[in-house]
Structure 1
Amino acid sequence: MKTLKERPPKSENEIASAEEQIVTLSKRIEFYLTEYSVELLASKMRKGEFVVPSYQRAYTWEPERKSRFIESLVLGLPIPFLFFWEMPDGKLEIVDGSQRLRSIEEFVLGDLCLGELDGLTALSGFTFLDLPESRQRKINNRSIRGIVLNEHADEQARFDMFERINTGSKIANKAEVRRGALAGPFMDLIVELAVIPTFESLAPVSKKELDEREREELVARFFAYSDGLEGYRDRPSEFIFNYVKKMNIRLVDEPALLDQYRTQFIETVNFIERVFPYGFRRKEKGKATPRARFEAIAIGSRLALNERPTLVNEPITDVLPWLISADFIRVTGSDGANAIARLRERTGFVRDKLLGM
């Protein structure tokens, strides 16, 4: 890593570009602050005035975590902000805080029985109705602050906020958010192709990655990048989100394209199975699919097939020598992997090798 003295100064164009991006992204986020009592939060959850979007996880908090959260609430400890999006009908979509809100509803208006508590040990085994009315009122009167994005915030703004708020915690990942927020024919195709046996065999993933729908992420990248990188600004998440959204709309108007894209993916996968002995693995018994390597091989192969369709049945010289070459290792390295120049370099590398260029 270069020291501050060794780094060249940023050019005026780089500074202007950075400032323009800050202004553009900031305009998408307009919000106001609010504050709700626990009683009102529970009531609004029960009435359906708070909407849990499909991209958020099911009610996954284990009993111990619910109890610990309620203990914090009873003790009056600070509770993190809730984040909402104001829907056109006036209801509030929960961007972050659904687990807390559902725990509050289950305790105040339901039958949640507290488990073993570390601090309030005497409260273990209590339900809300077991508490004296005076304590019930005090809990109901506690307030929690919220931030509400106004109705003009688009899907990408909510997607970004959810991702940033939850960085490092156990939350829905990009593929899960995309699946729920962008339901439609193209998203359905991505989900379908992610589980075809040949692809599963070529692209091994860990149990954790499987649960987080990593193969859906790979399929989405395949289509988004091989369809062209116009508008790509070194932000894969935003680019893929917008691409899937656009394709959902397009396939409604042009349903025949569905089979075309399905065939394109399956043809590429079958080609890779025939030509690349390790699939997307680094070695024969590898158990992972590095994203940069996947992009190089999958998209590079697709670009080569687009340029010369007969390649699908042509004999291909052994690819292993250049797969283990220093050049290939360099172009599929993680340093600056999302930069458009690096993306084009690694996909172009495979395309050119396959075409014998």
Structure 2
Amino acid sequence: MRFPIQQVPQANDLANVILTIEAISNGYESDIQIGDYVGFSDRQGRYYRLAGELLGLLITEKKKNKSILTPLGIELIELDKEHRKIKIKTIIEQNPFFTLILEFIKSKTGTSRVSIVNYIKTIVDGSESTIVRRASTVVNWLLSAELIYIDDDNEEEENLFYYNEVVDEEGISEDEKELNYSSYIIEEELDIKEIHIQVIALLRKNAQNKIIIPAFQRNKVWTKQQMSKFIESLVLNIPIPPIYVTQDQNGSFIVIDGLQRISAIVDFFQNRYTLVGMSVLKEYNGFSCEQLPSHITTRIEDRALLLYALKSTIPLPIIYDIFHRINSNGTQLTRQEVRNGIYLGKSTDLLKELAESKEFKTVIGDGISSLRMKDREAVLRYLAFALFDYNSDYQGNLDEFLGKTMRYINRASDQEIIKIKNDFIRTMKYANDFFGKNAFRLPTHISRGRVNIAIFETICVFFNKNNDNFLVNSKKNIMRNYMYLIKDKEYVSSVSSSTGSIKNVKTRFEKTFKILKS
């Protein structure tokens, strides 16, 4: 299959492609308008608009120089920043041109930029100079979407590119990614409370800081037109979907689904935007809340909203399922995002702090992405096995084990939290001092390999459980034995697949302590 050069993008920055879609969603339709919104020339605006067309995100009426979003483009722009990145990754993966490029890179054990360019020449019709320029854009997009990665720590003179395997959660095997609810039998109705609350009461609750937004929800933002349409629906008494929350012991609402609606109300009453694009109440377009007639604002304040509050008595796996079923974001939440919504408190604050710590970032480098809280889950997995015994406390269900750990931390005293922090920082410093940039990786014959979370767990717990005197005096032996450990067949198997099974958990911890101490 060969592609015309027109099907190869020339808009170099993938982030600005997404920004272009955002511009169009906000009414910026021409090349000049898009350029003004994003911050470049009208010529560049055309390049980025064409890039959006290549990905199926927009269509352009050539005669009118006007772009409109496709359903896929609308779906993308309604996501928050992190989920947009995930969505654009999927879109690129499914694009026929990029599919071939990825298959080529996947077939190699590391390939150079020159090799990628030469391959693109074989499937694209166009001048050599143009293909070379656009090939650079192709590589940049694949790197930006994290579909490939570059290893600058290899024995070759030139940097090599690698396909980012589906095992994208660094040591989390496929069988652990699926949440299985079939083993949970619901013998009675779920404890879900129906609450009718007026807008004015919701505003009062928000002013009292009793509406809590989980981290995975915070970046979701409606456009001004979407917010205005919602306000119009409130005025016209048009039915709106229910809002789903959980309630903590203080009566605060933790929002599962409905952030955009709540934010639209709160921001409007704080005069943070003016109404635009309303089709029925056109006479109020351009008005802020304080400019509206009092009878209109009163009508909004008196409007009753329906909330469904999930009680803490609902089994955790069922709450996971409810999160996935009703979350209107369109992208299924990761387990850690859900945990972060369920266990808000000391544990979520601690995980965020530790994942952002200098010591953790130094030893991990760019080996564990912060996208979708992968870094926080890695920290949590280490804490779980550091705080509880892998042999007697771990029962084979990683989700329950991690949930148990977050509940434990939420109940911990301030002194206990400080100790957990100090132990973590100490452990990261030892890991960096002993292994540096090669820590927690299974090396290949040409590169240091990628960070593996199961290795991260075991090595960090080893440092945590041994005292300073032993570690300092045994440093050379531990460093030497580490190379034996990551070549041990049983250990490698235990950190490569079914990493949550009792057998593999026991194997990797027993091997770690036995080999590193030998």
How does the TM-score come out when normalised to structure 1? 0.65
**483, 487, 501: which one aligns with 1:320:** 483
Asked whether the 8 Å contact 1:32–1:147 carries over to 2, the reply is yes
1:18-29 residue pairs with structure 2 within 5 A? 19=183, 21-23=184-186, 29=190
Task: Tell which structure's C-alpha radius of gyration is larger.
Answer: 2
SS across alignment from 1:337: coil
Change (3 A) 1:138 1:256: closer
Aligned to 2:514: 352
**Secondary structure in 2 matching 1:336:** coil
Counterpart selection for 2:194 from 22, 33, 39: 33
Cα contact 1:194–1:219 (8 A) shared by 2: yes
Q: What's the offset of the Cα at 1:225?
A: 0.9
Q: How far, CA to CA, are the matches of 2:201 and 2:448 in structure 1?
A: 50
Q: For 1:199-214, what aligned pairs fall within 5 Å after superposition?
A: 199-205=360-366, 209-210=369-370, 214=374
Query: Which residue number in structure 2 is paired with residue 223 of structure 1?
Result: 383
Helix, strand or coil for the counterpart of 2:193? strand
Contact 1:205 1:289 survives alignment (8 Å)? no
Q: Deviations over 1:40-67 (max 9, x none)?
A: 2x21222116832264468644451x53
- d(CA) in 2 for partners of 1:102 and 1:177? 22
2:212 pairs, out of 32, 36, 53, with 53
**Aligned-partner SS, 1:319:** helix
SS at match of 1:48: helix
Q: Distance in 1 between matches of 2:424 and 2:195?
A: 49
- Paired residues of 1:189 and 1:262 also in contact (CA < 8 A): no
Tell whether 2:489 aligns with 1:330: no
Partner of 1:270: 430
Please show how residues 138-217 of structure 1 align to structure 2 within 5 Å: 145-150=306-311, 153=313, 160=320, 163-164=323-324, 165-166=326-327, 169=331, 174=336, 178=340, 181=343, 183-184=345-346, 193-205=354-366, 209-210=369-370, 214-217=374-377
SS in 2 for 1:112: coil
The whole-number CA distance in structure 2 between the counterparts of 1:156 and 1:196 is: 29
Q: 1:244 to 1:143 in 2, by over 3 A?
A: closer
| Amino acid corresponding to residue 211 of structure 2 in structure 1 | V
Alpha-carbon distance in structure 2 between the residues aligned to 1:81 and 1:256: 40
CA separation of 1:58 and 1:309: change in aligned 2, threshold 3 A: same
Which residue number in structure 1 is paired with residue 124 of structure 2?
Answer: none
Deviation at 1:322, TM superposition (A): 4.4
C-alpha deviation, 1:355, in angstroms: 2.5
Alignment partner of 1:84: what SS?
A: strand
Structure 1 pair 275–205 and aligned structure 2 pair: CA distance change class (3 A): closer
CA contact (8 A) 1:280 1:294 kept: yes
CA contact (8 A) 2:481 2:516 kept: no
TM-score between the two structures when normalised by the length of structure 2: 0.48
Question: Are the counterparts in 2 of residues 81 and 145 from structure 1 also a CA contact under 8 Å?
Answer: yes
State whether structure 2 residue 244 is matched by structure 1 residue 83: yes
Equivalent pair of 2:491/2:507 in contact (CA under 8 Å): no
Work out the percentage of aligned pairs sharing the same amino acid.
Answer: 16
> Unpaired runs of 5+ in structure 1?
1-16
The amino acid of 1:339's aligned partner reads: S
> How far 1:78 moved relative to its partner?
6.9
Greater mean alpha carbon deviation, residues 197-206 or residues 127-136: 127-136
Unmatched runs of 5 consecutive residues or more in structure 2: 1-180
Deviation at 1:200, TM superposition (A): 1.7
